[in-house]
Amino acid sequence: MSHKTTSSSNPNRPYVPTPISSVAFSLTPSQQQQKKKKKKKKKTDRETMAVRRLSSSSLLTSPSKSPLLPLLRRPFSFSSSSSDDKTVLTVETSVPFTGHRIDPPSRSVETTPKELVGFFRDMSMMRRMEIAADSLYKAKLIRGFCHLYDGQEAVAVGMESAITKKDCIITAYRDHCIYLGRGGTLLEAFAELMGRTAGCSKGKGGSMHFYKKDSGFFGGHGIVGAQVPLGCGLAFAQKYNKEDTVTFAMYGDGAANQGQLFEALNMSALWDLPAILVCENNHYGMGTAEWRAAKSPAYYKRGDYVPGLKVDGMDAFAVKQACKFAKEYALKNGPIVRHNPETIEILEMDTYRYHGHSMSDPGSSYRTRDEISGVRQERDPIERIRKLVLSHELATAAELKEIEKLVRKEVDEAIAQAKESPMPDPSELFTNVYVKGYGVEVNDLSMSLLTPFFGVFSPFQIHILIKSYFH
Ligand SMILES: Cc1ncc(C[n+]2csc(CCOP(=O)(O)OP(=O)(O)O)c2C)c(N)n1
Ligand SMILES: [Mg+2]
């Protein structure tokens, strides 16, 4: 698996990041008055209030005295350290949306102080989790394939804020943060990464195979693109069961060129399924820049007859607006209507991954360090929200640092607890397989034959492959 390909900094075809205007926001007249009043208050008053808000936050308060239960029970909540969910703030997206066969939504996005500060904390939590996973991998406590999501957090957070847990999400192997967003806990995530029984797949799936029962999260998938037809199948079930819900099927710019995607798109459009295809365009498929793999890298237009929207995927509020719009659009007239030719859409999220493709890829041989640091400086999703929080005076810089400190502590606690969890018993190798009592012993020959597939399949999928090969 080589990551050494022509650099995207090739002068003929450079990677051009989305231009970002400075953080823009607008306030209604009453909000402006409120802001003026606030300014008059003494700084100390404001800080005392904010510290009170911080300490009353659900995420930062242990619901139990047991050392294990807090992390097991505590969902990754989108409540914020600010308790104010009544004041409506209007935030402008960084850049306008671009539509294909559709009028794009407004750039003005409504939010509340609670949501705004919540976005900051939730994205900081995701970022910290991925950085910690990097260290655990280097310490050999996480093994096998491991694909990190840092840089792309705004997609997970913005999407989650626009939908409910009854809507479905299905994604590929870059799944840790989507899992947290769906309500997974840090303990379940780290335990799974380290192959422990407290993990969300009982330690049997690893990084690429996170699942969350009864949460509308249909997990990570190692076969590139295969999750898209499965997602359309979920949308079929939603329509069949007459549910007012939708499925977000996520895939990368690399997967966007696969045939199965177009087959799934055709059937979904034909059957008016409430499916929303979300292309996370991080501009690289492993070490291959998008322009080397796609004749047309305008992925939001690639559905031809299917409407599409290009979204700044580094702006959580743009993602929120786009996902809300897409869900409403997909459900327009309800999924039960026999012929609604406009249910399915493609959302292209213009995003960026800071890490390499996986832990075996340093991520710097096919793109320049300047490119990576440029995106960090200009477009970082967390820094954007930090600026918004500060400009709305919802917290001070010191308070935001405190949130980051608490997030770090919570991640460290989860890792310590995950390490306490045992590895699965070897007998577990024969559970959760398709056909009961149909297992086979894995011998050295079959293991060596299947080694190349280890990154793609989970140990249990490999078991099934062995089974079907030898029977
Ligand atoms: C069917 C299939 N082909 C090839 C691979 C190897 N592979 C794993 S990830 C990847 C790149 C996918 O890139 P993209 O869709 O852009 O997603 P990203 O990793 O950027 O999130 C490839 C080619 C695979 N796992 N499955
Ligand atoms: Mg990609």
Model pLDDT, residue 117? 96
Q: Determine whether the shortest distance from the Cβ of 222 to ligand 1 is under 6 A.
A: yes
- Residue that wins the pLDDT comparison between 201 and 464: 201
Average pLDDT score over residue span 317-340: 76
Set out the domains of the chain in order of their start, with CATH numbers: 70-420 (3.40.50.970), 429-470 (no CATH)
| pLDDT one-digit tens code per residue, 1-35 | 334 333 333 434 556 555 443 333 334 445 555 55
Q: Determine whether the shortest distance from the Cβ of 220 to ligand 1 is under 6 A.
A: no
Model pLDDT, residue 469? 43
d(CA 49, CA 45): 6
Query: How many A from CA of 287 to the centre of ligand 1?
Result: 10
Q: What's the Rg (C-alpha) of the chain?
A: 22
d(CA 171, CA 220): 5
| pLDDT one-digit tens code per residue, 230-244 | 999 999 999 999 999
Over 60: is that where the pLDDT of 57 sits?
no
Query: How many A from CA of 284 to the centre of ligand 2?
Result: 4
Residue to mutate, 224, 354, 361, 458, ligand 1, most ligand atoms under 8 Å from C-beta: 224
Query: How many A from CA of 467 to the centre of ligand 2?
Result: 33
> Looking at ligand 1, which residue's alpha carbon is closest to its atom 20?
285
Give the least confident one: 81-85, 386-390, 403-407.
81-85
Q: Determine whether the shortest distance from the Cβ of 282 to ligand 1 is under 6 A.
A: yes
Q: Which residues contact 60 (CB under 8 A, 6 or more apart)?
A: 54, 81, 406
| pLDDT one-digit tens code per residue, 120-131 | 999 999 999 999
pLDDT band at 333 (very low <50, low <70, confident <90, very high): very low
Ligand minimally distant from the alpha carbon of residue 3 = 1
Over 70: is that where the pLDDT of 55 sits?
no
Q: Determine whether the shortest distance from the Cβ of 456 to ligand 1 is under 6 A.
A: yes
User: CA nearest 225: which of 192, 196, 248, 259?
Assistant: 259
pLDDT band at 434 (very low <50, low <70, confident <90, very high): low
Q: Which residues contact 426 (CB under 8 A, 6 or more apart)?
A: none
Q: Which residues surround ligand 2, an ion (CB under 5 A)?
A: 252-254, 282, 285
Over 80: is that where the pLDDT of 229 sits?
yes
Ligand minimally distant from the alpha carbon of residue 255 = 1
Number of Cβ within 10 Å of residue 405's Cβ equals 11
Query: How many A from CA of 55 to the centre of ligand 1?
Result: 42
Q: Which atom of ligand 1 is least distant from the CA of 1?
A: 6
Over 50: is that where the pLDDT of 143 sits?
yes
pLDDT band at 214 (very low <50, low <70, confident <90, very high): confident
Q: Determine whether the shortest distance from the Cβ of 208 to ligand 1 is under 6 A.
A: no
3-state DSSP call for residue 185?
Answer: coil
3-state DSSP call for residue 272?
Answer: coil
Over 60: is that where the pLDDT of 36 sits?
no
Q: Determine whether the shortest distance from the Cβ of 284 to ligand 1 is under 6 A.
A: yes
> Which one-letter amino acid corresponds to residue 469?
Y
Model pLDDT, residue 345? 86
d(CA 356, CA 366): 10
Query: How many A from CA of 255 to the centre of ligand 1?
Result: 6
At 291, phi and psi to the nearest 5? -70, -20
3-state DSSP call for residue 239?
Answer: helix
| pLDDT one-digit tens code per residue, 89-132 | 999 999 999 999 999 999 999 999 999 999 999 999 999 999 99
What is the percentage of the chain residues whose pLDDT exceeds 90?
65
Query: How many A from CA of 253 to the centre of ligand 2?
Result: 5
Model pLDDT, residue 215? 84
Model pLDDT, residue 346? 94
> Looking at ligand 1, which residue's alpha carbon is closest to its atom 2?
224
Over 70: is that where the pLDDT of 460 sits?
no
Over 90: is that where the pLDDT of 373 sits?
yes
Average pLDDT score over residue span 302-325: 96
Residue to mutate, 286, 358, 453, 462, ligand 1, most ligand atoms under 8 Å from C-beta: 286
Please report how many Cα atoms fall inside a 13 Å half-sphere around the Cα of residue 415, on the Cβ side.
Answer: 19
| pLDDT one-digit tens code per residue, 198-210 | 999 999 999 999 9
Model pLDDT, residue 409? 98
Q: Determine whether the shortest distance from the Cβ of 261 to ligand 1 is under 6 A.
A: no
Q: Determine whether the shortest distance from the Cβ of 202 to ligand 1 is under 6 A.
A: no
Mean pLDDT across the chain, nearest whole number?
Answer: 81
Q: How far apart are the first and last CA of the chain?
A: 31
Query: How many A from CA of 258 to the centre of ligand 1?
Result: 10
d(CA 324, CA 316): 12
CA 258 to chain centre: 21
Q: Determine whether the shortest distance from the Cβ of 253 to ligand 1 is under 6 A.
A: yes
Q: Which atom of ligand 1 is least distant from the CA of 357?
A: 19
Are the C-beta atoms of 243 and 256 separated by less than 8 Å? Answer: no
Q: Which residues contact 6 (CB under 8 A, 6 or more apart)?
A: 289, 292, 366
Average pLDDT score over residue span 168-174: 97
User: CA nearest 14: which of 292, 296, 376?
Assistant: 292
Over 60: is that where the pLDDT of 420 sits?
yes
Q: Determine whether the shortest distance from the Cβ of 72 to ligand 1 is under 6 A.
A: no
Average pLDDT score over residue span 27-56: 44
